[in-house]
Chain A
Amino acid sequence: MTAGRWFAPAAGLATALVVGFLTLPVLAIFLDTGPGRLLDSLGDESAQEALRLSLRTTTIAMALILVVGTPAAWFLATRRFPGRALVVTLVELPLVLPPAVAGIALLAAVGPSGILGGALEDAGIALALETAGVVVALTFVAAPFYVRQAMASFEALEPTLLDASRTLGASEARTFARVALPNAVPGLSAGGALALGRALGEFGATLMFAGSFEGITQTMPLAIYAQFSTDFEGALALSAVLVAISAALLLGVKAAGARR
């Protein structure tokens, strides 16, 4: 028997498995939730509170990631220096950290008894059990998704484009703003969407570092977990909302990418 004959059906079967396995749980959320139940849950005061908090903390985290992460990614993409590979690996490390480890790590670093805890307290900055702590947790877990993608986008830019800009006498700042940024937009927005999705869904690090309190630290994923034990239907409905937002994000980025 030739190798080719069984491969196509096997790959087809594998595809069916992948698609079925990845879509069934997401579909089940919607099949188990009636549209009426979905609207009811959206009317719920504490669900709205959780949604507002999630959107607020995610927006702040994303602003920080974009403003600080973009020039940092440009710097790392355009410079060669000793130890660069190590720096890049360290920046990417939170990508593969389990959320609980991220939570513990944040506590050990900037928690009340962490290595910077005393200094932060002296400066009057409280993070643990505060909304600011949620932002820190989201930024920590989501930033690598953006920075990594942004670096790749800057590295993939046509070198002649950047050279032309420099030869014409533009400063690095001008080259970055007028040439590199506009041309890297598809990659940057893809990275931004990944980071946004990760921040919106963050659970473990938030719970460990920032705790769970309605209106202060209880984001959507934490509200879903809190509701699971008493109101499975309500938890499903909240999940459906989160899936809808994430799917809209993904589609938006794909559409933006396709238009270019």
Chain B
Amino acid sequence: MIGAAVLVLPGCGDGDASGRGRLVVSAAASLRAPLSACSREFEGARVRISFAGSDELAAQIRRGVRPGVFLAANTKLPRQLAGEGLVEAPVAFATNELVVAVRRDAPLHTLGDVGGGGVTVVVGDETVPVGAYTRTALARVGGDLERRILANVRSEEPDVSGVVGKLLQGSADAAFVYRSDVTGAGGKLRTIDLPARARPQVVYGGAVVRGAGDHAVARRYLDGVLRGPCARALHDAGFGPAPGR
């Protein structure tokens, strides 16, 4: 009994049999698919990623949670946290595009259709980046169409996974999500592009969190997101390169 307990011990805690430490990453929900796969190949540590709305993750960091790396779906939150001394200087590591997604067979083809009567629309809560981008885009669309689309909104989800979920299982007819979410849905969804003038600039920012364990490993992971295997995974998942790269 005691022997078994001792044998089990090296497998848990902060290291594993190969001597790697553990790195906790807090990442925006929209990064789930690409990051889950590429992070398994990270050599510096065993990576455990906590996916949620960027705003929830930032709030956790403000309340004293210390992941090694914070990856957000905007640059505002990492910049704010840096201003508060909680994370190091943030870097932009990817771009995305806000789109309207509908199911492949849906009879919706234009933004006007999305504002039509009886259409159910789901968006992100205004505090989560995808919800903030959605409101920016709709404000730019403006006028009667903005009002009609907002009047069709039936749920404000805490993160983009919830928005995509509501669309995929049929509760919603249309949803404001990222292009990468449509790519990730593997053909079940198609996009209605927003007019170019309404499209908000969607830039993802990441930063090493201060006071969280192995700084060098966290730095190396963030570098990998910028130009390593995770950068390739992001590209394959439909994300664009960071501005200026």
B-binding residues in A (CB < 8 A): 107, 111-113, 117, 128-130, 207-208, 211-214, 216-218, 225-226, 228-230, 232
Dominant secondary structure at the A interface: loop
Give chain B's interface residue range (CB within 8 Å of chain A).
Answer: 20 to 34
Indicate whether A211 sits within 8 Å of B122 (C-beta atoms), given known contacts A113-B169, A226-B127, A229-B55.
Answer: yes
Not counting A129-B171, A213-B154, A226-B158, a sample of 14 additional A-B residue pairs whose C-beta atoms are within 8 angstroms of each other reads: A107-B169, A107-B171, A111-B170, A112-B169, A113-B169, A129-B155, A130-B154, A208-B162, A211-B156, A211-B162, A211-B166, A211-B171, A213-B153, A232-B62
Q: Are A111 and B158 in contact (CB-based, < 8 A)?
A: no
Whether B63 is near chain A, meaning CB under 8 Å from some CB there, is yes
Contact with A along B114-145 (1 / 0, CB 8 A): 00000010100101100000000000000000
Inter-chain CA distance A112–B120, complex, in Å, is 12
How far does the Cβ of B160 sit from chain A's closest Cβ, in whole Å?
Answer: 14
How far does the Cβ of B207 sit from chain A's closest Cβ, in whole Å?
Answer: 18
Q: Which B37-93 residues have a C-beta within 8 angstroms of A?
A: 53, 55-56, 58-59, 62-63
Inter-chain CA distance A113–B127, complex, in Å, is 29
> Which residues of B are found within 8 Å of A229, using beta-carbon distances?
53, 55-56, 58-59, 127-128
Inter-chain CA distance A218–B153, complex, in Å, is 13
Number of CB contacts from chain A to chain B under 8 A: 68
Inter-chain CA distance A113–B56, complex, in Å, is 30
How far does the Cβ of B62 sit from chain A's closest Cβ, in whole Å?
Answer: 8
> Which residues of B are found within 8 Å of A232, using beta-carbon distances?
59, 62-63
Inter-chain CA distance A112–B153, complex, in Å, is 17
Whether B172 is near chain A, meaning CB under 8 Å from some CB there, is yes
16 A-B pairs whose Cβ atoms sit less than 8 Å apart in the complex? A111-B170, A113-B169, A128-B171, A129-B172, A130-B154, A207-B158, A211-B154, A211-B156, A212-B156, A213-B153, A214-B156, A226-B127, A226-B156, A226-B158, A229-B58, A232-B62
Indicate whether A129 sits within 8 Å of B128 (C-beta atoms), given known contacts A111-B170, A112-B169, A232-B59.
Answer: no
Indicate whether A211 sits within 8 Å of B59 (C-beta atoms), given known contacts A111-B171, A113-B169, A229-B128.
Answer: no
Q: Are A129 and B169 in contact (CB-based, < 8 A)?
A: no
> Which residues of B are found within 8 Å of A112, using beta-carbon distances?
169-171
How far does the Cβ of B70 sit from chain A's closest Cβ, in whole Å?
Answer: 14
Residue of B nearest to A117 (CB): B170
Whether B157 is near chain A, meaning CB under 8 Å from some CB there, is yes
Q: Are B59 and A213 in contact (CB-based, < 8 A)?
A: no
Inter-chain CA distance A225–B171, complex, in Å, is 21
Q: Are A212 and B170 in contact (CB-based, < 8 A)?
A: no
> Which residues of B are found within 8 Å of A218, using beta-carbon distances?
156
Whether B195 is near chain A, meaning CB under 8 Å from some CB there, is no
Q: Are A230 and B127 in contact (CB-based, < 8 A)?
A: yes
> Which residues of B are found within 8 Å of A211, using beta-carbon distances?
122, 154-157, 162, 166, 171
- Residue in B62, B154, B156, B170 whose CB lies within 8 Å of A113: B170
- Residue in B56, B58, B158, B166 whose CB lies within 8 Å of A129: B166
Whether B10 is near chain A, meaning CB under 8 Å from some CB there, is no
> Which residues of A are found within 8 Å of B58, using beta-carbon distances?
229
Most buried by A among B127, B166, B171, B172: B171
Inter-chain CA distance A130–B169, complex, in Å, is 15
Most buried by B among A113, A130, A213: A213
How far does the Cβ of A135 sit from chain B's closest Cβ, in whole Å?
Answer: 16
Residue of B nearest to A216 (CB): B154
Whether B15 is near chain A, meaning CB under 8 Å from some CB there, is no
How far does the Cβ of B126 sit from chain A's closest Cβ, in whole Å?
Answer: 9
Whether B165 is near chain A, meaning CB under 8 Å from some CB there, is yes
Residue of B nearest to A104 (CB): B169
Inter-chain CA distance A172–B59, complex, in Å, is 58
Inter-chain CA distance A208–B163, complex, in Å, is 10
How far does the Cβ of B39 sit from chain A's closest Cβ, in whole Å?
Answer: 23
Q: Are A212 and B169 in contact (CB-based, < 8 A)?
A: no
Inter-chain CA distance A229–B62, complex, in Å, is 10
Q: Are A212 and B157 in contact (CB-based, < 8 A)?
A: yes
> Which residues of B are found within 8 Å of A214, using beta-carbon distances?
156
